[in-house]
Amino acid sequence: MSLPADLIYSGAVKRIPLDGDWTLYPVRPHDGPVSSPDDLLNASLDPVPAVVPGNVEIDLMRAGKLDDPYVGTRIYRLREIEAYDWWYVREFDAPAEPPAGPVRLVFEGIDCLATVWLNGEVLGETDNMLIPWSFDVTDRLGRGERTRLAVRIASPVRAAREYSYEPWLTAVSTGYEHLYVRKAPHMYGWDIAPRVITAGIWRSVGLEVHGRDELVDVGYAVESIDDGTAMLKIGWQLRTDAPDLDAIELTVTGECDGNRFERTFRPLFIAGELRLEVPDARLWWPKGYGEPDLYEVRWELRRDGALAHVSTHTVGLRTIELERTELGGEDGAFLFRINGEPIMCRGTNWVPLDAFHSRDVSRYDRALELIDDLGCNIVRCWGGNVYEEDSFFDFCDRHGIMVWQDFAFACAFYPQEPDFLERVRLEAQAVVRRLRNHASLILWSGDNEVDMFYQMRGLDPRINRISREVLPQVCAASDPYRPYLESSPYVASEVLRRKRRDQGLMPEQHLWGPRDYFKSSYYAENTASFASEIGYHGCPNVSSIRRFIEPDHLWPSAQTPGRERPWQENDQWRAHATDPEPVYGPYAHRIDLMANQIRELFGFYPDNLDDFALASQISQAEAKKFFIEMFRIGKWRRTGIMWWNALDCWPQFSDAVVDYYFAKKLAYWYIRRVQVPVCVMFDEPSAWTCRIVVANDTLKPACGQVQIVDAETDEVLLSDGFAVDPNANRAIGRVRVSRGEHRLFLISWEIDGQRYANHYLHGTPPLDLAWYRSLLPRIASLPGGFDPDAVAR
C-alpha cells in the first residue's frame, strides 16, 4: 500500500540513496500503449539519460533535445510535451544483510501521477507532487540481488480531462487543470510564473532500512511561560517488536547554552506524553526581538540496557498567539505575539524558487541569505507554491525568521467531493506532521485568496469545506498549539453581512488595487492592520535582460519604431511579463503597467532601455520603501507588512527585488535600510512639516544620535540625540517642507557605534529623472550603501 511517507515512520536508521543516474523514456500519445516496464523494451522509443532529483525538461536540455525554455518565447514550446507520459528506470543492488525491521522505498517528491514497479510488480501509485510517498518493500527485495525500479508518470493534463467539473468551479484562466490534480498551482501559469506542466522525480528517492525498535514520532509544544519557566509538552510514539515493554527505556535530554533538561522513564505504552518544567528557559525570539535560541534534544531508546535507537531534534521554546478581529479599520487587529510580546512583522512573500522545482535546493542558500540580509523577521510561504524542505525551515529557525505557511491552494473554487477532501486531508497531515516542530513556523493559513474568490462572486466562503473543515481539523488534531487562519485574506461573516465586495473591512489585506502612484489614496489611506501582500513592478537589470531576451527584441522600438509604447507589440517582453498565452493572454498588460508606473513618477515614457530600466527601478524602490515606512510609522495601528516579493522563479519583468539570476534591483538596497530593527523615517507632509519618527522594533530602549541634511545643499536640518522606549515609536522632531518643491533628504543615525541610514524623497510627481539620477550617488554613499553606477545596469 502506498501512503504519504510522513504517515509512516519519521526516523530511518539507514538510508540507501537511489538518486543519480536513471534512464528517461518520453512516451508521446501516438506512440501506442506502454502499460508496463516490459513494454519499454518493445516500443520504438528514444530514451535519454536522466538525473534524479530532476525534471524531464532539464534532462531533455542536457541531451540536446530541448533549447533553454527561459530564453525568448521558447517557454510556449513546452505545451508540445504536456500530453506526454514519462518513464524513469534504474537498477540497483538490494541490501545484502537481512533487515531487522521494515524496509521502505521513499520518494520525497514525485511529480505527480505515478505508478511504481519493482522487478515488474506494481508497488502502488501516487497522486500528489507536494508530499513524500512510501512503499513497503520488506518482502520484495532479494538479498544482494540486482533490482529493477521503474516509475511511470502520466500526463496531468490528460488526467485532468477525465474529471467532471461543476459549473461553479473557478480557477485562474490558464489553470483549471490544477483543481483536481495536486501539483503546485503556479505550474499551470500565473502572473509570476510561466505555464510549465513538468514531470519528474523532483526530490530524493531511497530505501529506508529500519531497526526493530524505533522512536517514530515526537511532537513538541510550549504550553506556557511563567517567570522564565517554560512548560514543555512532548508527545511521543515508539515502535518495537518486543512482546512487552518492560525491557524498553527512554531518555530525553535537551541543552541550550548551558540550560538543560533530562528525563529517563520506562514507557507503559507505545505512545505517551511528557510535561517538563524548564526553569530559566532560553527562549526563541524573532529577529530583532532577541536571540533565536534552540535546544539540541536527544532521545535514546534502550532495550535490555543496550542502545537500540537515537533520534535528535532542534527545538525552540516559545509561545505563539494571533490576536485578530473579524473587521478591520481603526478598531481592527491582526497581531502576532511571541512569548507574550507584540511583534511588528517586517518581511516578504516566499514564492517558487524555480519553475523547475528540482532546482530549488541549489538556490536555497543564496535565496535565504538574501532574506536574512534584508532584515526580514517573517516570510509568508505563498499558497501557489510547493511546501519547502526542512532545510528551509532549519535556516529560519536559526535566524529568527518567522514563517507563515499557506496550504497549497490558491485563487480557485476547489472540488468539495468526499474523495477529493480525503486526499486533501492526507496531504495536510503529511505536511503538518513534518513541519510542526519548527520554532519558526508561527501560522497555518488555509489558502491564498480563495475566500476572496468566493467573495468576489457573491458566495459565502464558509461553504468551502477545505478551509472550514478539513484543514482546521488536521491542525487541531496534529498541531493544536499553533494558530490557524482560514484564508489569506480571511473574509469574515460580518464582512459578507454588510454586502461589501471590497477588502477594506478586513484587518489583513492584499493591497494590489489600481497599481497607480505609490502614494495615491489607495495606498496611503488603506485600512489594513496587516498587509500580507503588497507590491510594485521593477524592471530587471539590463545585463539580466540580455540573458533572456534575444538581441533583435532587446528594446521594443527595434520592432515598432516611432511608437510611444512599443513594448506592447514585443512578444518576448510579453512572454516574460509573465503571460502564459502566446497572444495577449491575461497578463499581457503587465509590461504596460510597469511603463505606466514610470510615467506616474517621472511624467514620460523613456525611449531607450537604459533609462527605462533605471526609471522603473527607482519607481519600485521608492514605492516599496514607502510601503514599509507607512506600516512602521503606523505601529501599533498597523502590525505587519509582507511585501511582494524577494526573488524571481524565472527571468521576468516583475515585482521581485532580486531577479532570477540573483542580480539586485535598487529596491533591495532601500528595503535593506528601512527594515533594520531601529529605523528613522519621515512621515508624510502635514501643515508644512514632516514628522521625524524613530521606530524601535526591539525589546530594549534605543538611544542614539541622528542627523538629517538636504542632499543638494548639505544644509543640516536636524541634529540631535534620541531615546525610544522598547517596542515603541517616537516622534523626535519636524522638518519644514513645501509640497511644491522636489527635495531629497539624507538621514543617518548611530546606535552603540553602529551607523545606519535612510532617505526621503519629497514632492509631487512628475519628478525629473536626470535630477534623481544626479543625486543617486549621495543616497548610495550613506551607510549600508551600494554602487550607484551598477544600478539597473
Tens digits of residue pLDDT in 486-529: 999 999 988 888 876 677 899 999 999 999 999 999 999 999 99
Residue 160, C-alpha cell as written in the block = 485532468
Q: Which stretch of 117-121, 354-358, 579-583 has the lowest confidence by average pLDDT? A: 579-583
Read out DSSP for 191-253? SSS-B----B--S-EEEEE--SEEEEEEEEEEEEEETTEEEEEEEEEEEE--SSSTTEEEEEE
pLDDT score, position 30: 86
DSSP secondary structure string, 463-504?
A: G-HIIIIIHHHHHHHH-TTS-EESSBS---HHHHHTT--SST
Whole-angstrom Cα distance, residue 779 to residue 762?
A: 14
Whole-angstrom distance, CA of residue 474 vs CA of residue 428 = 7
pLDDT grade, residue 174 (50/70/90)?
A: confident
pLDDT at 744 over 50: yes
In this prediction, residue 7 carries a pLDDT of 39
Query: Mean pLDDT, the chain, as a whole number?
Result: 94
Percentage of the residues of the chain whose pLDDT score is greater than 90: 88
CB 177 within 8 A of CB 71: no
Report whether pLDDT(120) > 90.
yes
Whole-model pTM? Answer: 0.96
What per-residue confidence (pLDDT) applies to 493?
86
Contact 434, 428 (CB under 8 A): no
Question: Cα-flanking dihedrals φ and ψ of residue 712, to 5°?
Answer: -90, -35
Tell me, what's the pLDDT at 175?
Answer: 86
Lowest mean pLDDT among 306-315, 354-363, 464-473, 563-572: 563-572
Say if residue 342 is preceded by a cis peptide, omega within 30 of 0. Answer: no
- C-beta atoms surrounding 233 within 10 Å: 15
DSSP 61: H
A 10 A CB-CB count for 522 gives 15
Give the model's pLDDT for residue 565.
67
Q: Which pLDDT belongs to residue 497?
A: 83
Q: Flag the least confident range among 33-42, 212-221, 249-258, 295-304.
A: 33-42
Overall average pLDDT of the 220-236 stretch: 97
Mean pLDDT, residues 316-345: 96
pLDDT for residue 3 is more than 60: no
**What is the pLDDT confidence band of residue 12, given thresholds at 50, 70 and 90?**
very low
Q: Do 636 and 719 contact (CB within 8 A), yes or no?
A: no
* Least confident segment among 66-70, 559-563, 609-613: 559-563
What confidence score (pLDDT) does residue 569 get? 77
Tens of pLDDT, residues 554-594: 986 544 445 666 666 789 999 999 988 887 778 888 899 99
- pLDDT value at position 31? 86
Residue 20 has pLDDT above 70, yes or no: yes
Do 408 and 178 form a contact (C-beta atoms < 8 A)? no
C-alpha cell at 142: 532479494
Query: CA–CA separation, 137 vs 143, rounded Å?
Result: 12
Write out pLDDT tens, residues 626-675. Answer: 999 999 999 999 999 999 999 999 999 999 999 999 999 999 999 999 99
pLDDT digits (tens, 9 = 90+) for 132-161: 999 999 999 988 999 999 999 999 999 999
Q: What would the pLDDT profile of 102-111 be if each residue is shown by its tens digit?
A: 999 999 999 9
* For the chain, percent of residues with pLDDT exceeding 70: 96
Is the predicted pLDDT of residue 290 greater than 70, yes or no? Answer: yes
Nearest to 630 by CA among 639, 618, 620, 619: 639
Contact in structure between 677 and 698 (CB atoms under 8 Å): yes
